[in-house]
Structure 1
Amino acid sequence: MITIHPYYTFFQGAFRFAEGKKLTQQQYQYLMLFWGIARSKRNVSLLKLHKDPIRDLVGLPLGPEGALFVSSQEFLDLPKEVQVEFLHQREHQLALSITSVGHTSRSTGNAEPFHDKCDCHWVPTMEGTGLEWDRTRTNFEDYEFWIQYIARNILKPWGLRLEGEPCTFGPTLDGATLFHLLLGLDTSHPTVPRLLKRLANSGKVQPSMLDRLVVMPRFVGNISNPLTAAVFLGDRLLTGWLLANGANPNCFEVVTFSDGDKRVSESSWPIVQASVQGKPCFLKLLLEAGASVHVARGPITRKVLLGSPGTVEAPYRNLREMTSLHLAAYHRLFENVRILVLHGADFRRECDFREHRYKYGDHGESTAKDLRVPRGAVEAGFQDAHERHANFQRFCPAYDVLVEKAVSKALKQYDATVRAAVGKRRFLVLGCLS
């Protein structure tokens, strides 16, 4: 479903390939490069001398003014981890990092079919079963042109046909409900709490409605679950409302990539996101609703767009699966540490602090594990922040000493917090048994 707002365009769901067909690995790579590299006007005579192996493998021509050229040889020459990140994360485009032979300046305009058109924002779904919006731009004006162009010039030669739900258009949002715009509401406005109350009292809210909504992608990136997104945005009112109306505090989904790799998505287990919020009220709301403290997933590593009010869980490196307690310790949020330990979080559980390079262990990923309990995450958080800012402090010899003192102080605070929480937990358990 596609819904047009006067200022934004939201896309719900995806176009699927008819008869359940899927993309091959090369077709998936081609469509990602078609999206990721500028559709600039190019010199076809020069392009014929330049290798483009992925395009050749999928049987597509260069097209007028190099419209279908994707500079795949340069892509394949990139480090393997960069290739994998591009294909999996879909958070950046390669137009600035690949300048192929015959790739002219954008100032010369787009190739012939794309004159006066915005960039393409259709990408293959992670599992390769269709096309979906890339969630990076809310004013994707030429969505109809691009889906028709791809269907006619790329998918049709591959024997693929798109199927999708009927689309509804119009700024009046005919047929839409409040659920379509829930995360776009300004809950600081005095009328919004009253609207939410009336909606809850209408008796029409079903938990299944709260599983997956149209969101504001520029605010919440790849998060598709409204509860996780509400926590990410730091919206206490909406978080409480969703939980009160049946949203699952232990929601999770597994994403299957085109190469068969499976990972728990960023939408899963909002308690992981709550652990890095400066306000402990989000943890309390989720725990009261029955959220588990024993879950772990790969943390959100970066904001998709600048200006997002959301909180990145691990801003400095692409960590592997982290528990909520590890992340609270990593950010030195000791009140969150106290709450999690009090509710049974395992402060002896180890997580691997190596950089996560997906499943390509033979392409630069260290095989030596870096296992750390949550206490070790305190120091890791300082180390990552220090490495990030060390270049700006290189003329200050005392900087390393200050960091060392800060780490020592934080570790003492962590130890005291855990001891106090464990003591209170034992007291509460004994009280229940007596």
Structure 2
Amino acid sequence: ETGQGADFTNGHGQGTDMVIHESRKYGFARALTKTVASALAKKGRTESPWVHLNDVAGFIGPEGFRSREQLVRCCLEDIVMGKLHGLMIGLDVCSTLHMDVSLNDLGWCIDQIMPANPGYLMALPTRIDPMLGYLTTGYQDHVHIRETFGFKVDDRMWSFFQALGVIDAAGKPTQHFGDPAWVYLQYCRRKQDARPEAEIRAEAKVRIAEVRSRGVFIAEGFGESYSALQPSLAEHIQHIYDDAKISIWKELDDVFVSTIPNVVRLKTQSADREDYILHPVSGEHLSDDSKTLIQQLREQSQQSDTQIVISDGLNALAVTDGDQLMSLVRRLRKELVGSGFKVAPTNVIVEAGRVRAGYRIGEQLFGGRKGRFTTLHVIGERPGSGHHTLSIYMTVANGDVWGEVDKVDHNITKVVSGIAITALSPELGAIEAVKILRTM
């Protein structure tokens, strides 16, 4: 799996065009294909090597792509490169919610891209991924693609659809199209379940409700055409999209910050929210004034080995929603103290803070000190999941490691995500985080 912009956003671009970096990965994939073929041949097997390239175009964000036109260009470039390398290349035509691409724009992108004939498209029940919180191809888009461009489903899968009774012999949708309860009934029948149809359908409704209660979308029915979402679901998805935009652009205000006990307020080098969104690196480093405050904090907290950091991230609403944040922080402190950690009494809050801002704080607080030191970075994340979720990034390192500039990074960090009053509860999130921390 790959995608243009990964090198750039991680600081490894070295001034080279993203397409060049991407093409090198395709060369690697081709070499890998040959390696797999060689391994098969040594075992006397004659089938073709099964290697395909999944291009997650658009996932990096606005630092790589600003518009729907740029996203289309990227997808077309990658399809061409993949085919020139002789690869099976498919796409996840996607967009992060802090890009300037709407739900309708994504449909437009798909229409521009499909004539180039990628090997496949990723898909989910709607255009929003409830786990990662980004826009992607929906199952309904596949129906639209078949209707508009004449593409086909793999013959074996199409036969399976017909066997299920959702597609008829002429290739048209039946009355069971868009009815997951009917599909569940067929599943049960294949398992020799002889219960009455009404009983199985009732069970299906319960199962579907259970899945939806966890924030996962299951589409039923359709809209004005077979390729359109059922109107109420379409409205719900639009609401989540709109809420995500608010979450991303929301800023921490003075009133909210004043409610945090023992707070030390920091800012990054981002000039404003737009700068923060478009230039992620600006949110990874502290302003000069904030560095001074951290130096003062270091001098005041020589007896502590653990610091809690709070940042707005890409979802400030996750931080400001009711008592969600402080419920998490209070339980974190209780669990940490109970496990022998010496937690600094201050709550460091960072405006326009990315995950790496927490590492920079750890460097200043703990660099060069003897012993092992811990940061727990509570940050708003995943706008577009339907929940205002927090994550806890936990990093443990010796003082000499913290003392090396940029040495501490994601590779020695563990995370608990999806913490919200509507998802993984703050109390359970804190317990899970400290449980993991004790193993680090």
Q: TM > 0.5 between the two?
A: no
What TM-score do you get using the length of structure 1 for normalisation? 0.25
What TM-score do you get using the length of structure 2 for normalisation? 0.24
| Richer in strand (by share) | 2
